[in-house]
Structure 1
Amino acid sequence: MPNKSKPMGLQTLSSWATSSVEEVASTGPGIRFFQLYVYKNRNVVAQLVKRAERAGFKAIALTVDTPRLGRREADIKNRFTLPPFLTLKNFEGLDLGKMDEANDSGLASYVAGQIDRSLSWKDVQWLQTITSLPILVKGVLTAEDARIAVQVGAAGIIVSNHGARQLDYVPATIRALEEVVKGAQGRVPVFLDGGVRRGTDVFKALALGASGIFIGRPVVFSLAADGEAGVRNVLQMLREEFELTMALSGCRNLGEITRGHIFTDWDASPSHPTAKL
């Protein structure tokens, strides 16, 4: 039977959240990472990182795939902006907490005005000079970038395509995962972010070398549907589906999940054209 030990859970809070790092930390103990967007004003970045550190956050997830915001056509059509009763709470005292209305997307205009497009690998090393927190690079999809991330001192890699909202035709995270794991060569943990909807997805990610997975939309949808109870329910569903997948695959613990449990569309024979467990 699958190992019943309690899994490690954590939360990643975006720089652009409508609750501040201090507010989230005040809700009680937990493992929390801070997802960082690098602003043109590096003093702002330094302040954010220090606040996250003081609030007990355990790592910085540096977002590296958003020098510009992708063409989000729904946002353009709806002229998306935050409603007046919400602000980007981490920036309220810096006069950067409001998102102005625009002719297309208020978020796109905000990003264009504030985010540093010149972000480079040197900035991973710069962050290491202002914080003792480990830096995870979020948005890696290739072995080449994985190798560079390790070389510049990243403590971990998050395979992410930003919910496929940044670049059309970008590969699915599960497709990119194995290449990134091979590029990291076991020197840092590699996590999968995005595309996880069932416990079988978790199993496949671990089989392809992920150290863990992050989920986003299922939590948001369940929160909207039923609040905290909805989130607890969706996490329990994922856990139960994952344990059932382990049991039916003959895995008694996480260490027994291997690449041999799956085959994929990129190594399948003509008679097996799709990925399967």
Structure 2
Amino acid sequence: MPPLDHLPDGVFCAADYERLSGSFMAGPTHAYVAGGSGHDVTALANRDVFAAWAICPRVLADVSSGHTRLALPGAPSLAHPLLLAPVAYQRLAHPLGELASAQAAEATHSGMVVSTLASQTLEDIARHAGAARWFQLYLQPTRDATLALLRRAEAAGYGAIVLTLDASIQVPSLHALRAGFRMPAHVVAVNVAGQPAPGAVALQPGHSRIFQGAMSESPGWADLDWLLSQTSLPVWVKGVLHPDDARALQTRGVAGVVVSNHGGRGLDGAPASLRMLPLVREAVGASFPLLFDGGVRSGADAFKALALGANAVLIGRLQVYALSVAGALGVAHMLQLLRDELEICMAQAGCATLAHVQPTTLYSTGIVPHQPGALPHADHH
């Protein structure tokens, strides 16, 4: 079914766009968007882990002057903490792809992070997006190619660089493979067209396709130091789960980190992002900027991520689902619904501002999600 040019009937919450999206994307494409990697263990864990927490309401709190404003390095004035995540190949979901998402971000005063693997040029996307736009960067096989992307992003007015470091190896979702997904010929990563494919190295006898192949071009600490020396823009690092990595990156001088497992598209069996978020927050201290990515489907999910240590959250799959249903209008509607849901949670929990959204607003439900490892527990107050 082609995307609608109006809001669909029956959308009462942001998550309804996920329910409708199967009618607007071909089956194999929907399987690709919905899937993670391997058996989808981590992708499912990202969703399930939110059930381990409940938001406790408060009474008689004065929230009449409440708001959701915040500032982040590279975005000094944000209306709310809901940002569009860097999702690649958005023309899979809509003919305009990232241009429609950018229009929605501008209309709702939302931040947007644009993927290196976007199916529209980063310059065209910048012209449609609002002022709060960042560019997500994959380091290319050569530094010259990376530098060319960086300079284009700077010239197009992107306010920050979001360096993704957790995608050196991606194992396809078995669900998507079994559905027969193949990238359509018209959906191309136009910003890196003509560049050699990462990992296209000649193997010597006895070499591993992984260690000497796919990982031969993976970035190291020297590459991060080089990138930091090449730009005056704030550099965030996306794909951080381990507290020690977060501390090391903080020491290195990055502007902030994104606690993320790449939407479950990295190591299948890695812990849910929400599980690691409070551990990373503890490691880097209260003032270091953290974003969260992984499984958000509602304003309540966003509230829980904020309470457990995030300054803001990234919205990935919901963005694509809404895009497939109703283009820019759908994405804008989805963002407004999420914001309304978040503000309802804040108001009922007695939180007039984001600063009031703390771990003490959450309680353990006693539900142990089906996921790798054990869930850390918050103190009960």
| Coarse TM-score class (shorter-chain normalised) | 0.7 to 0.9
1:39-87 CA distances to partner (integer Å, 9 max, x unpaired)? 2222111100110111001111111111112243244445644322222
SS of 2:188 mapped into structure 1: coil
| Residue 163 (structure 2) pairs with residue 62 (structure 1) | yes
| Residue 339 (structure 2) pairs with residue 239 (structure 1) | yes
User: Matches of 2:337 and 2:288 in 1, distance apart?
Assistant: 29
SS of 1:62 mapped into structure 2: strand
Q: In the alignment, which residue of structure 2 is the partner of 1:156?
A: 256
SS of 1:263 mapped into structure 2: strand
TM alignment of 1:44-55, pairs within 5 A: 44-55=145-156
TM score, norm. by length of structure 2? 0.62
Distance 1:121 1:263, change over 3 A: farther
| Residue 374 (structure 2) pairs with residue 267 (structure 1) | no
Q: Retained in 2: the 8 A contact 1:64–1:139?
A: yes
Q: Which amino acid aligns with 1:254?
A: L
TM score, norm. by length of structure 1? 0.84
Q: CA deviation at 1:120?
A: 1.4
| Residue 241 (structure 2) pairs with residue 134 (structure 1) | no
1:253-272 CA distances to partner (integer Å, 9 max, x unpaired)? 22221111113453279xx9
User: Matches of 1:252 and 1:134 in 2, distance apart?
Assistant: 29
SS of 1:26 mapped into structure 2: helix
Q: CA deviation at 1:114?
A: 8.5
Q: In the alignment, which residue of structure 1 is the partner of 2:123?
A: 22
User: Matches of 2:166 and 2:305 in 1, distance apart?
Assistant: 21
SS of 2:217 mapped into structure 1: coil
SS of 2:332 mapped into structure 1: helix
1:180-220 CA distances to partner (integer Å, 9 max, x unpaired)? 11111235201101211111111111111111111111111
What is the number of residues matched between the two proteins? Answer: 257
Cα RMSD (Å):
2.6
SS of 1:179 mapped into structure 2: helix
Q: Which amino acid aligns with 1:167?
A: L
Q: In the alignment, which residue of structure 2 is the partner of 1:104?
A: none
Q: CA deviation at 1:164?
A: 0.7
- Return the match for 1:210 from 286, 296, 310: 310
User: Matches of 2:335 and 2:251 in 1, distance apart?
Assistant: 35
Distance 1:193 1:244, change over 3 A: same
| Residue 357 (structure 2) pairs with residue 257 (structure 1) | yes
Q: In the alignment, which residue of structure 1 is the partner of 2:328?
A: 228
SS of 1:119 mapped into structure 2: coil
Q: In the alignment, which residue of structure 1 is the partner of 2:173?
A: 72
User: Matches of 1:7 and 1:211 in 2, distance apart?
Assistant: 10
Structure 2: state its 5+ residue gaps.
Answer: 1-62, 69-78, 82-109, 198-208, 365-374
Identity over aligned residues, as a percent? Answer: 37
| Residue 72 (structure 2) pairs with residue 7 (structure 1) | no
Q: Retained in 2: the 8 A contact 1:13–1:35?
A: yes
Q: Retained in 1: the 8 A contact 2:160–2:236?
A: yes
Q: Retained in 2: the 8 A contact 1:38–1:116?
A: no
Q: CA deviation at 1:29?
A: 3.4
